[in-house]
Every structure is written in C-alpha cells, then in structure tokens.
C-alpha cells in the first residue's frame, strides 16, 4: 500500500480554519499539514502553540506559503472576500484547492473561478458544502435515488444559529453577502442535490425581520428570513434562516415526495441523553454548527484528499457552488426589495407586468 500523503497548506486560522487544521492534523491519515497562513498576529500566535510543534510552517503572507516546498494542495478558510483570489492564485501554482463556501458573494467572480479551474482539469478544485458529507443527508439522497418517496416535490429546510449577543454577526453582515448567501446557501445546495443539478428557478420571493439585532438594517440584512423558490420542474423549496435561536443550533430539512417524506434532525439533540426530572423531560442541542456537522467536516477533508491522491471524481461539482450562490443572491435581492423575481425556462431573468 502506498504511503504517499498529500502535502496541504491552510489559509486562514479563524473559527472555520481551525476546524480544518485540526482535521488535517489529526483526522485525515492521507494528508500532511505542512504550512498555514494568517494575516492576523493573534492567529499566528495560536499557530505557534498548536501547529509548529507538529512541524507546520507558519506564514503571514499567502503568496509565500504557496511556495512552500512540496506543497500539493491548499485549504482556504479565510474571509469570503478573498476566497476567489486565493483560489485562483493556488490554481495558477498548480495546486489542488478545497475552498470554504462561498467562492465569492459576486456571481461573476464565482464564474471566473470556475473558468480558471477549467484551464487546469488535472487539478481538484472543490467548494466545501459540509452537509454533502453528513451521513444523514447522504442517506436521504440514497433513499430519494432509490425512489422510496416517489418524486421529491417540496423541500423545507432551515439553517438557524444560536443567538450571539456579542455583535459578531452584525459586524460580519458588512461582507457576508446577507443571510441567504451566508446561511441558506447550504439549504440551496441540498435542494440542487435532491431535486437535480438541472433545476431552474421559475420565481423567487423572500421576506425578513430584524427581531433581536436591529443594527443589521444598516447592512440591509435581517436576523430572520424566509424565502420561497419555485422551480420550472414543478417543485418548490422553502427556506428559513435565523440568528436568534435561544436554545442552540437547529438545522433541519424535510423532503416531501409523492409517495412519502424524509426528514433530517427535526427533533434536534446533542446526543441520545434525555434528562427526566420534576419539571419534565429535557435534552440538550448543539450550541453551534460544529456540534451538528463536525463529523461531516472530517469526511470532507478525507474525501478531498483521496480525490487528489487517487485522481477520482470530486463529490461536488464546482458549478453547483456558483448556482447555489446565485440563487442565494436572488433571494437576498427579493428580501431587500420586497419584489418577486421571475425567470424563463433557460434561467434568464424576465420582468412580469404589474397589474
């Protein structure tokens, strides 16, 4: 058996970047984390304590990290605003890329990344949508493929974060692209997976409120929003995203078919423990997305590594990452303008007369 390992560099050591480096260091046997980059001195200090003891070289300059000897792949977990630029630079250096979602909040920039990747077809370039690697969602996809619920027709899916009073999400809204691009993009990606990559929107509408963080209004964003996407293939997706859950993370999905229904996490809980006491029966739920999708991130790292080393197909098409952001951006536009957006069967936007 080959002992060859994929030499990987990590860009970004923030909240999501730390998830990736821990997985690459300790949970991805065929990968070797050899370098890490961050422009943040505090993150570099964290790296000195947690990465250098494992032989990881730290860089405060991304371009210099790309020149690290033997580097074969880069995982990108930096700010969304530089995802595309850093992905393109890595491709130009002939490196495989695993980039956190989204590639960009700008659709044209997303498309530019896809075009760049097409110039190097031998490279594996993947945008990480963690739910694609979750065992429960994979089972849902398998059951849909087997025809167990007939024709999937309606999806109700939500991404709901625990309320954070620190003001982090208000500051984050300045560049996140809005709640639909940042949060519901996961649910949109699931829709394309379950309904088919060729699903074309027919109409898009959305509404939102600022229930607990009115400061979001200065960024035209909301802490609660709902969106509806009607597709030309006679299917509908309903999305709910929220940043005010009091109890913890609650990401759930239902797929309703002509002969049955599949649901994921509609009764969320952190583990299988229920606490029976004089006030009733209670259970804990995850406090953040890692509590729910930690294992999926591990599987994502391992499957990306295997695809690079074995030259096997990636589990996600890069073009889907563009389409998910595009639908999310239209939902955000509908949310801000209050107007429904319409499309023809080729996906071209059309204006309907106002009666």
299, part of any domain: no
301, part of any domain: no
**50-85 in b/e burial notation, b at 16+ Cβ within 10 A?**
bbeeeebbbbeebeebbebeebbbbbbbbebebbbe
Provide the 8-state DSSP code for 173: T
CATH of the domain at 106: 3.40.50.720
Which of 87, 103, 128 is the C-terminal boundary of a domain? 128
- Please name which of 133, 186, 136 lies closest in space to residue 159, comparing C-alpha atoms: 186
| Each residue's pLDDT tens digit, 131-141 | 999 999 999 99
Q: Are residues 110 and 164 in the same domain?
A: no
Q: What is the pLDDT of residue 2?
A: 45
Q: What is the pLDDT of residue 146?
A: 98
Which of 128, 159, 190 is the C-terminal boundary of a domain? 128
Q: What is the pLDDT of residue 149?
A: 98
Q: Are residues 87 and 167 in the same domain?
A: no
Q: Are residues 105 and 166 in the same domain?
A: no
pTM above 0.75, yes or no: yes
Handedness of CA 303, 308, 313, 314 (dihedral sign): positive
- 311: number of Cβ within 10 Å: 9
How many residues does the structure list for the chain?
A: 355
Q: What is the pLDDT of residue 353?
A: 58
Q: Are residues 229 and 248 in the same domain?
A: yes
Provide the 8-state DSSP code for 182: I
Residue 194 structural domain = 137-294+323-350
| Each residue's pLDDT tens digit, 202-215 | 999 999 999 999 99
Tokens of 88: 């393109």
Domain count, the chain: 2
Q: Are residues 288 and 205 in the same domain?
A: yes
Q: What is the pLDDT of residue 167?
A: 92
Instruction: For the chain, list residues with pLDDT below 70.
Output: 1-3, 353-355
Handedness of CA 129, 137, 319, 299 (dihedral sign): positive
């Amino acid at each position: 058996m080959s002992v060859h390992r994929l030499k990987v560099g990590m860009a970004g050591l923030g909240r999501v970047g730390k998830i990736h480096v821990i997985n690459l260091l300790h949970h991805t046997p065929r990968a070797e984390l050899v370098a890490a980059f961050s422009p943040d001195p505090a993150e570099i200090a964290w790296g000195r304590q947690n990465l250098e003891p494992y032989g990881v070289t730290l860089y405060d300059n991304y371009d210099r990290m790309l020149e690290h000897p033997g580097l074969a792949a880069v995982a990108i977990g930096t700010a969304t605003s530089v995802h595309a630029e850093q992905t393109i630079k890595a491709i130009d250096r002939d490196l495989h890329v695993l980039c956190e979602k989204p590639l960009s909040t700008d659709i044209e920039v997303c498309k530019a990344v896809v075009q760049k990747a097409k110039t190097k077809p031998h490279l594996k370039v993947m945008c990480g949508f963690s739910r694609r690697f979750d065992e429960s969602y994979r089972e849902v996809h398998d059951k849909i493929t087997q025809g167990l619920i007939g024709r999937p027709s309606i999806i109700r899916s939500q991404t709901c974060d625990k309320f954070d009073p620190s003001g982090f999400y208000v500051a984050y809204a300045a560049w996140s692209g809005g709640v639909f691009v940042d949060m519901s993009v996961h649910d949109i990606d699931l829709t394309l997976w379950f309904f088919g990559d060729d699903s074309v929107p027919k109409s898009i509408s959305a509404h939102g409120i600022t229930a607990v963080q009115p400061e979001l209004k200065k960024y035209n964003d909301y802490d609660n929003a709902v969106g509806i996407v009607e597709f030309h293939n006679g299917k509908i997706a309903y999305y709910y995203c929220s940043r005010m859950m009091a109890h913890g993370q609650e990401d759930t999905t239902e797929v309703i078919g002509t002969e049955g229904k599949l649901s994921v996490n509609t009764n969320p809980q952190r583990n299988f423990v229920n606490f029976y006491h004089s006030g009733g029966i209670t259970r804990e739920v995850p406090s953040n997305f890692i509590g729910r999708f930690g294992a999926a991130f591990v599987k994502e790292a391992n499957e990306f590594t295997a695809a690079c080393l074995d030259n096997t197909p990636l589990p996600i098409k890069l073009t889907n990452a563009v389409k998910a952001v595009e639908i999310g951006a239209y939902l955000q536009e509908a949310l801000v303008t209050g107007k429904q957006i319409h499309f023809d069967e080729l996906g071209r936007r059309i204006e309907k007369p106002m009666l």
